[in-house]
Amino acid sequence: MEQAIIRVAQAIEQAERILLITGAGLSADSGLPTYRGLGGLYNGHTDEGLPIEAALSGSMLQRDPALCWKYLAELGKACLSAQPNAGHRAIVELQRRKPECWLLTQNIDGYHRAAGSPAERLIEIHGELAPLYCQSCGAVDPQLAEHLSRPLPPKCRQCGGVLRPPVVLFEEMLPERAIGTLYAELRKGFAVVISIGTSASFPYIVEPVLRTRQAGGFTAEINPTRTDLSAAVDVHLQSRALDVLPELLRHIQ
Ligand code: NAD
Ligand code: ZN
């Protein structure tokens, strides 16, 4: 393990353009649930017998907002009661030492910004949980915590419409600006790409890793379990992000 960490650290030291891709596994060390893989809430199905992809879909929010919100609220409550961990903070420090280190996250918990990662190098590809807005009139409602303690789904104070968070639900389009930034940066190329705590279930998460590998760059994965990416990366560090990231930093100037 130590040898493998040193190999990744050396690749980072020699690189300028670096992309870190993070998923629910990074925030799992803060106590937040993941959906798949180690500690995955829904490796099977939800209480309703649905795959999580169906419960948290754009069409479910329209058809049965209370059911969709049941799962949004679960993640929302966990986010509000926890905080960024030493893994998030190690990434902030790495970005300070490496001014061309970008961060692509699927997490909607806002923990990268809360920990201090610079907004101009952060791509939140699945949006974020707050602030809620009304699907009918567009009014913005900043009271996420308050709504989560009341019957679901949360309703607009102005018109009674169903509120939703600015997240990308399953089946929904990715935010144009985020995807534009991601592909613009990908065209410039990255010397190192590291996938951290994600089951890599989406093509726009897998693609930066494969493209970088094909272009001769260095790729690594940090995940206690194997994923579809494990066989494709140069190094798979098979442990928790919280254990690896601070240790990795100790080997980087
Ligand atoms: P995922 O649940 O599909 O996969 C999580 C991965 O993290 C798994 O491969 C698991 O083995 C790994 N993992 C578990 N504990 C870990 C640890 N301590 N260190 C490193 N890795 C660990 O998550 P995903 O790939 O991010 O996709 C989930 C989707 O659900 C995303 O779209 C995301 O928006 C959403 N989601 C977000 C959060 C959050 O914001 N924190 C939490 C759950 C789900
Ligand atoms: Zn409204």
pLDDT in tens, 98-146: 999 999 999 999 999 999 999 999 999 999 999 999 999 999 999 999 9
Q: What is the mean pLDDT of residues 25-44?
A: 79
Instruction: Read off the tokens for 47.
Output: 């209480």
Q: What is the mean pLDDT of residues 33-42?
A: 69
The percent of residues in the chain predicted with pLDDT above 90, rounded, is 89
DSSP conformation class of 121: G
Instruction: Read off the tokens for 117.
Output: 């990662």
DSSP conformation class of 162: B
Query: What's the CA gap between 68 and 34, in Å, rounded?
Result: 17
Query: What's the CA gap between 103 and 19, in Å, rounded?
Result: 6
177: amino acid identity, one letter? R
Query: What's the CA gap between 245 and 241, in Å, rounded?
Result: 6
**Phi, psi (degrees; rounded to nearest 5) at 229:** -85, -20
Total structural domains in the chain?
2
Confidence of residue 49 (pLDDT cuts 50, 70, 90): confident
On whether both 137 and 203 belong to a single domain, the answer is no
On whether both 114 and 181 belong to a single domain, the answer is yes
Site to probe by mutation for ligand 1, drawn from 26, 29, 30, 35 as the one with most ligand atoms within 8 Å of Cβ, is 35
pLDDT of residue 44: 61
Average pLDDT across the chain, whole number: 95
Q: Which residues are catalytic?
A: 126
pLDDT of residue 41: 65
On whether both 122 and 193 belong to a single domain, the answer is yes
Among candidate residues 164, 188, 220, the one where a domain is terminated: 164
CATH of residue 58's domain is 3.30.1600.10
Q: What is the mean pLDDT of residues 179-208?
A: 97
Binding-site residues, ligand 1, Cβ < 6 A? 23-25, 27-29, 32-40, 75, 106-109, 126, 197-199, 201, 222-225, 227, 240-242
On whether both 72 and 10 belong to a single domain, the answer is no
pLDDT of residue 1: 79
CATH of residue 225's domain is 3.40.50.1220
The percent of residues in the chain predicted with pLDDT above 70, rounded, is 96
**Distance between the two ends of the chain, CA-based, in angstroms?**
20
Count CA atoms closer than 13 A to 223's CA, side-chain side. 30
On whether both 75 and 97 belong to a single domain, the answer is no
Q: Which ligand is nearest to the CA of 127?
A: 1
On whether both 191 and 233 belong to a single domain, the answer is yes
Q: How far is the CA of 145 from the centre of ligand 2 (A)?
A: 18
* Closest atom of ligand 1 to CA, residue 78: 41
Considering the entire predicted model, what is its pTM?
A: 0.95
What range does the domain containing 136 cover? 36-81+131-164
On whether both 91 and 207 belong to a single domain, the answer is yes
On whether both 179 and 230 belong to a single domain, the answer is yes
Backbone φ/ψ region at 39: left (φ over 0), alpha (ψ -120 to 50), beta? left
Query: What's the CA gap between 181 and 62, in Å, rounded?
Result: 29
pLDDT at 203 > cutoff 70: yes
Confidence of residue 37 (pLDDT cuts 50, 70, 90): low
Confidence of residue 39 (pLDDT cuts 50, 70, 90): low
On whether both 76 and 187 belong to a single domain, the answer is no
On whether both 26 and 88 belong to a single domain, the answer is yes
Among candidate residues 164, 186, 220, the one where a domain is terminated: 164
On whether both 145 and 178 belong to a single domain, the answer is no
Q: How far is the CA of 74 from the centre of ligand 1 (A)?
A: 14
Q: What is the mean pLDDT of residues 203-216?
A: 97
On whether both 63 and 124 belong to a single domain, the answer is no
pLDDT at 50 > cutoff 70: yes
Q: What is the mean pLDDT of residues 201-228?
A: 97
**Phi, psi (degrees; rounded to nearest 5) at 234:** -65, -40
